[in-house]
Chain A
Amino acid sequence: MAETNLRFRDDEPHEEPAVSIEAFLGQTNATAVRIEAGEDARLLLPYLDRLALIEIDFPRFRDGRGYSSASILRAAGYTGELRASGDVLVDQMLFMRRVGFDSFAPDAPIDAHALERAFERYDYFYQSAADQAVPVWKLRHG
């Protein structure tokens, strides 16, 4: 099976490994950081300019804390790569794209056809999020 594209950015993938928040806050030159589920994404808000990659871990796919972390980072203006890693299934990836993830490092392989269908299945969304989708209420009223 051809490898499924799991990165949805135009720039080059970031090479530097992601360090923990604790390590990041102790260093001056790291540009990639990893957030564990439950850690406070807002700790990174003063440093968003120099971050090229933030990786957020999903230890179990049912643990939804990473969605809030991503939402907070994108709302604060982070434009770098936002990667979801860990127990990520194709069924979560549309939600993840919507809250601002633009790359994925799942534990298990993702079927390319299933992913394509997942991303194309819904034409409309009720609420605004970090993505470009116009919420339905806005489509209704212009």
Chain B
Amino acid sequence: MGKDCGDACVKLLTGNDLTTGDVTWWTGDGWSRHIEDAVDVGDHGETLLAQETAALRVNAAYLIDATATPEGPRPAHIKDRIRALGPTVRPDLTRKPADPNAGTWVI
């Protein structure tokens, strides 16, 4: 897919919490359930991934492309946007249950 993020292109490190399975995002000094806290890992992603996996602080981690926006990073792939938010068909079970338009961010 084309990269039209230009200077706003970022790389995020994401995975799941080992014991709970929660989707998590690397914040620079730890892990958050909220993608708004995610930081650009630049070229350090693989190193971080290995270190955090070995320390059991993340499971099934991988790197993704995203675009930095005022609302926070927006993953390039719809799958990761759904991971970030929650199931679009159950707004009550997403990270933003009070926002009826949250699902449109995914698309």
Determine whether A and B are in direct contact in the complex, meaning some CB atoms lie less than 8 angstroms apart: no
Chain A interface residues (CB < 8 Å from chain B): none
